[in-house]
Amino acid sequence: MASIRCEASVPRSGLFEVLPSFEVDPTPNPFYAVEIASDPRLFVWANRRERDATNFFASWQDNAPLRSAQRYRPPAQAWNALKNGHRLYYRAWTSADPGRWQDFSTTTPDSDAAAAPFARVFSVFHLPTETDLVADYGARSEQAWRTASRLPEVRRLASLDNLEVVIHPHPFTIGRFDPRTAEWVVIVKAQETEAQVVRTTIARLDFQTLQLVEVHTFDDPQRPVSDVDATATMRRNAPFDDMVTWLVAPDRLNRLGTLRAFEGFAGDFGGVQIVDSLTGRLVYSASTVWNGRGRHLVP
């Protein structure tokens, strides 16, 4: 019986954005086509007039021949038009002939379109650091995400929408960077819309080995705050007591999806703070020290 599979989640942005990959088995036929939609209703032929480039793509469009390779990736142009949705529904059509629909079948019939499988599309944000940590930062940050994504505390968020990921390599030591003390910080959050709850997981990984240092999870009611409120939270929780040089301000925040981040560069002392604008919680804070060693503070 024919089948099609895709990753459970696909990044739409970031240094390691990749085209979604579909594994297709068209058995008993040898050839197939793939349809992708942001809404499963669009698979139904009666709704075809609602289709456009931003919500539907089919590999059979433009008289393209049917395929036989085990894996299929859509063209970059099609993916760029589709990727702004939160879900990517998909199905395959199979045929006994590469040039026409002969003995055709589908993995999800129109009558069962609502049950079509889907992948969640999420955003990846990168919080820069004040030192050049690694030349291959993009590849290393992807490795950090792949490692964190296998944790059960991260996988618990896989069924939720509005998934966001922030990756931050925190150095702790500035001036002379010491990779032995640095960490990859991977923040993953999603919304449970009906319950109005934001669920968050923070994984801290060893910078060199990617071994788990610690994982934190928390769930908060959705209570949005302004950038002014986020700034006030950061000021009240500066990385060092009586730190008059902690020059956080609304116009100096990094906006990483619904997270607000501030990095105070270390003359002698500095650090990073991140506040969730949907809940008001200070979700991450760590200090840096010039030619010394900062500390992990929150959570």
Q: pLDDT-derived band of residue 275, with 50, 70 and 90 as boundaries?
A: very high
% residues pLDDT > 90 (the chain)? 68
* pLDDT score at 88: 94
Q: Can you read off the two tokens belonging to residue 248?
A: 């956080």
Q: What angle do CA 150, 152, 154 make, to 5 degrees?
A: 70
* Amino acid, single-letter form, for residue 137: Y
pLDDT over 80 (residue 243):
no
Mean pLDDT of the chain: 90
Q: pLDDT-derived band of residue 135, with 50, 70 and 90 as boundaries?
A: low
**Phi/psi at 2 (5° precision):** -65, 150
Residue-wise pLDDT for 37-51, tens only, equals 999 999 999 999 999
Residue-wise pLDDT for 175-231, tens only, equals 777 888 899 999 999 998 888 999 999 999 999 999 999 999 999 999 999 999 999
- Pick 158 or 154 by higher pLDDT: 154
Residue closest to 88 by CA, chosen among 182, 197, 7:
7
* pLDDT score at 221: 97
Q: pLDDT-derived band of residue 55, with 50, 70 and 90 as boundaries?
A: very high
Residue-wise pLDDT for 140-156, tens only, equals 888 999 899 999 999 98
Residues 164, 222: contact at Cβ < 8 Å?
no
Half-sphere exposure of 299 (CA within 13 A, CB side): 20
H helix runs in 35-82, sequence order? 76-82
pLDDT over 70 (residue 244):
no
pLDDT over 80 (residue 255):
yes
- Pick 91 or 266 by higher pLDDT: 91
* pLDDT score at 242: 61
Q: pLDDT-derived band of residue 241, with 50, 70 and 90 as boundaries?
A: confident
* pLDDT score at 245: 64
**Residue written as token pair 């998934």:** 163
% residues pLDDT > 70 (the chain)? 94
Strand partners, 37: 56, 89
pLDDT over 90 (residue 137):
no
* pLDDT score at 133: 57
Residue-wise pLDDT for 119-132, tens only, equals 989 989 998 776 55
User: Which of 158-172, 196-210, 262-276 shows the highest mean pLDDT?
Assistant: 196-210
Sign of the dihedral through C-alpha 173, 178, 180, 185: positive
Which of 7-11, 92-96, 231-235 shows the lowest mean pLDDT across its residues?
Answer: 7-11
